[in-house]
Structure 1
Amino acid sequence: MGAKKKYSYDIEAQDIDFRRRVSLRSLTNMILMTAGRNATENGFGLLELQEEHYTWVLSRLVVDMERFPTEQDSFSVETWIEQVGTAFTTRNFRMRDGAGAVIGHAKSLWAVIDMRTRRSVPLDTIPTMQQFIVNESVPVDEPGRIANVEGEIANSFTVKYSEIDVNGHVNSLNYVQWLSDCFSLDFYQEHYIRRFEINFLKEITYGDSGEVHRQMIAPDDYLFQVETREKGIACRARIVFFPR
């Protein structure tokens, strides 16, 4: 147990892209695994909540990186809960390389929903969370609302079996994949991701189909909107790049 704890990860072949850097999907996966591991160790993990027919859902996430790890790196993620409100809890992350240097931070907002009604549940149903609050922030703005996007269609999808998680909806990592695939290999040869933000608005489930719209709002700064034909706007996101 620990209100603030660090978790170490090995960089595996499946975690890196063609540039031998950790992909955005893999980095996000390590961040979310860290959240899950810490919640489980402290008694309010996914399996504990599901015994009461509740589950965690990610509402918003912002990640800010000085650099992404490479295949030669050791990598660790430190996490803690900063706030517990009525509907949302704020969980922070600090990323370090093998030398202990800080290479990034992240901030996330989580909610609990009733799996039977799909409605949010007040967080005072998990009173033990209060004892794990750490009054420490990170140098990342609170995940905010992303504006409506009017842009070109950059990707499309139809949800299949492998994209559905234990909550019965599309796993968060598949949204990251859809967004990442909006750019070519040539683009990634010349750009590195600096900041990633995502707002989840509606659940996407098996068989849903739709498009990812992309809009450049400034050089190397892009907004995205994931729209389904069945449910409308399900997600908005932003990626800011470093030019090489």
Structure 2
Amino acid sequence: LTNFILITAGKNADENGFGLLELQSDNFTWVLSRLVIDMKRMPTENDSLTIETWIEKIGTAFTTRNFRIFDGKGFLIGHAASSWAVMDMHTRRSVLLDTLPAMHQFIVPESTPIGEPGRIPSVSGEVANSFRVKYSDIDVNNHANSLHYVEWLSDCFTPDFYQTHHIRRFEINFLKELTFGDSGEVYRQLNGQVDYAFHIETHGKGTVCRARIVFEAV
């Protein structure tokens, strides 16, 4: 589902003239900073999905992009909200969004019921997974693709757990880049009966990501 959401964001940006290829011609690129997904129900195998997306607002360094998720029968089953920055490929630092003045004409000042993706507080927790960034984890921005963070978090639970629990809400904050060879651990902390907080800690870069997953029993 996260992949479908990110593909939808990229396709919309491409269609409106500020997609990845357009930015890369000026040595810039889009990077995902925060994401929250809140589902009334999770899609199942072979479900058809329709995802709508729009830019709610553009700040100095970050833009907020929202999503509505519908099933194959047209029922609204979830929302998502995301925060994006433009990064200079040479300096690896974010740049001001006034570099994309044409983007402002596509603003639709409509929020979602789940609000904007917020800051996730730090947690302690215990090690629930470990990882090392491999070549196949690297994307066109020369860092670990955001979907692999989701995989490392998801792998903190067993198949038996997923047989009895579905994800209702997922939140993630990306703090630092991960590059080839980086390794570390995923720390998990239970904050409620089905409410888990995480942070991804590396050997050398410190905390690179924070996340939260809220489940519901099925």
Do structure 1's residue 125 and structure 2's residue 99 form an aligned pair? Answer: yes
- 1:156 positional shift: 0.2
Question: Normalized against structure 1, the TM-score is what?
Answer: 0.88
Output the CA distance in 1 between the equivalents of 2:205 and 2:98. Answer: 30
Do structure 1's residue 218 and structure 2's residue 186 form an aligned pair? Answer: no
Deviations 1:133-170 (Å, cap 9, x if unpaired)? 00111111211111111111000001100000000100
- 1:69 positional shift: 1.1
Output the CA distance in 2 between the equivalents of 1:63 and 1:157. Answer: 24
Please tell me the residue identity of whatever aligns with 1:187. F
Output the CA distance in 1 between the equivalents of 2:204 and 2:143. Answer: 14
SS at match of 2:191: strand
Gaps of 5+ in 1: 1-26
Do structure 1's residue 43 and structure 2's residue 17 form an aligned pair? Answer: yes
Output the CA distance in 2 between the equivalents of 1:71 and 1:200. Answer: 29
SS at match of 1:55: strand
Name 1:191's counterpart in structure 2: 165
Question: Normalized against structure 2, the TM-score is what?
Answer: 0.99
Q: Of the candidates 133, 154, 166, which is equivalent to residue 140 of structure 2?
A: 166
Q: Of the candidates 156, 164, 179, which is equivalent to residue 130 of structure 2?
A: 156
1:65-80 matched pairs, under 5 angstroms: 65-80=39-54
Do structure 1's residue 96 and structure 2's residue 70 form an aligned pair? Answer: yes
Please tell me the residue identity of whatever aligns with 2:17. G
Output the CA distance in 1 between the equivalents of 2:204 and 2:8. Answer: 33
> How big is the alpha-carbon RMSD for the aligned residues of Structure 1 and Structure 2?
0.6
Deviations 1:62-95 (Å, cap 9, x if unpaired)? 0000111112321110000000011000000000
Greater CA drift, 135-144 or 231-240:
135-144
Name 2:108's counterpart in structure 1: 134
Q: Of the candidates 120, 127, 152, which is equivalent to residue 146 of structure 1?
A: 120
Gaps of 5+ in 2: none
Output the CA distance in 2 between the equivalents of 1:234 and 1:122. Answer: 22
Alignment identity in percent? 70
Please tell me the residue identity of whatever aligns with 2:161. F
SS at match of 1:218: coil
Name 1:4's counterpart in structure 2: none
Q: Which runs of 4+ in 1 moved over 3 A?
A: none
